[in-house]
């Protein structure tokens, strides 16, 4: 995989705007056309990884396959059907399908990577890293980050993700539900780096994070510790204005914390920049203002 760092036009292929990418289709699933072996849902682990890379990499338009099960000894078998040969209605169970329908597009790892692709949008590839032939990681600007591991040993590296500071939900192992991540989380520090661990023998040896699936909370005590050196004890009020760091996000929060208030926790669903103003009602002329990442 380390050779994929310039995949696309640089390989002498068509310009990105003229390309449709896909891992498999109804023909090459069955060995009709295509050169060499084709990954399909029959090999779910590498199939999900290949699809994740396709959706994360900015080349061409990606097409997702949605299949039905068939007898591999009968490649002409049609879709699931009733006794009168009418096609069965797709039967859903949560985010999966039943009664012979595969529905790869409903697999969590794939539909979350579709969101990843949309969020990355036109952001360029940055922070490419290759630890071995089959261990890679890269970011899409400051919007998203992906790490993949097909070696027989784990990735445990402090890598540049390019993302703003925060705690992010890995959208491969889980989802962000009601403010909590059902999978693993990744902590990105103020420099954009994070300790990335990708196991080699787990079901999905990859990690994907992006700016619309963070979990972040900050306490008033943390703010006081950060800022107490710039003001005197006469401060009465800490006025907070939180606004999104990304133009696509529009939520703004305004709040005051008065001296003597009980410690509180401010929790935001997205990354903000925080402006904090110290309002000194005794000496207003000394009012101070700061801005910091949140």
- Top pLDDT among 237 and 176 is at 176
Q: Name the CATH architecture for the domain at 2-67+102-212.
A: Sandwich (2.60)
Domains of the chain by residue range: 2-67+102-212, 216-293
CA–CA distance, 52 with 48 (Å, rounded to integer):
6
pLDDT score for 83? 85
| pLDDT, mean of residues 85-106 | 84
Q: What is the share, in percent, of the chain residues with pLDDT greater than 90?
A: 47
Q: What is the pLDDT of residues 205-222, one digit of tens each?
A: 999 999 987 754 433 333
Q: What is the pLDDT of residues 141-171, one digit of tens each?
A: 999 999 999 999 999 999 999 999 999 999 9
- Give this prediction's pTM: 0.71
> Is the pLDDT assigned to residue 112 strictly greater than 90?
yes
> Is the pLDDT assigned to residue 225 strictly greater than 50?
no
Q: What is the pLDDT of residues 6-62, one digit of tens each?
A: 998 899 999 999 999 999 988 888 877 765 688 888 899 999 999 999 999 999 999
- The Cα-based distances of 216 to 47, 86, 192, 238, 259 in angstroms read 32, 51, 15, 20, 24
> Is the pLDDT assigned to residue 284 strictly greater than 70?
no
Q: Mind spelling out the 3-state secondary structure of the chain?
A: CHHHHHCCHHHCCCCHHHCEECCCCCCHHHCCCCCCCCCCCCCHHHHHHHHHHHHHCCCCEECCCCCECCCCCCCCCCCCECCCCCECCCEEECCEEECCECCHHHCHHHHHHHHHHHHHCCCCEEEEEEEECCEEEEEECCCEEEEEECCCCCEEEEEECCCCCEEEECCCCCCEECCEECCCEEEECCCCEEEEEECCCCCCCEEEEECCCEEEEEEHHHHHHHHHHHCCCCCCEEEEEEEECCCCCCCCEEEEEECCCCCCEEEECCCEEEEEEEECCCCHHHCEEEEEEC
- Top pLDDT among 242 and 103 is at 103
Q: Which two tokens stand for residue 63?
A: 């097409």
Tell me what the pLDDT averaged over the chain comes to.
Answer: 77
């Amino acid at each position: 995989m380390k050779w994929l760092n310039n995949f696309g036009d640089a390989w002498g292929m068509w310009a990105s705007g003229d390309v449709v990418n896909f891992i498999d289709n109804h023909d090459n699933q069955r060995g009709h056309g295509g050169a060499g072996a084709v990954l399909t849902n029959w090999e779910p682990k590498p199939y999900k990884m290949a699809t994740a890379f396709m959706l994360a990499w900015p080349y061409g338009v990606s097409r997702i396959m949605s299949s039905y099960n068939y007898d591999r000894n009968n490649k002409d078998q049609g879709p699931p059907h009733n006794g009168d040969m009418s096609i069965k209605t797709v039967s859903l169970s949560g985010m999966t399908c039943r009664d012979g329908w595969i529905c790869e597009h409903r697999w969590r790892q794939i539909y979350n990577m579709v969101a990843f692709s949309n969020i990355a949008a036109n952001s360029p590839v940055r922070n490419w890293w290759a630890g071995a032939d089959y261990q890679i990681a890269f970011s899409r600007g400051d919007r998203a980050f992906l790490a993949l591991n097909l070696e027989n040993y784990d990735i445990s590296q402090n890598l540049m993700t390019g993302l703003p500071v925060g705690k992010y939900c890995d959208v491969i192992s889980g989802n962000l539900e009601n403010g909590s991540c059902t999978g693993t989380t990744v902590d990105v520090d103020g420099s954009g780096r994070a300790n990335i661990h990708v196991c080699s023998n787990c079901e999905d040896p990859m990690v994907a994070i992006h700016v619309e699936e963070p979990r972040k909370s900050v306490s008033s005590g943390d703010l006081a510790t950060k800022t107490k050196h710039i003001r005197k004890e006469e401060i009465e009020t800490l006025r907070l204005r939180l606004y999104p760091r990304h133009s696509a996000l529009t939520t703004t929060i305004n709040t005051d914390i008065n001296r003597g208030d009980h410690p509180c926790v401010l929790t935001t669903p997205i990354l903000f920049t925080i402006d904090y103003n110290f309002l000194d009602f005794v000496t207003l002329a000394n009012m101070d203002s700061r801005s910091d990442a949140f």
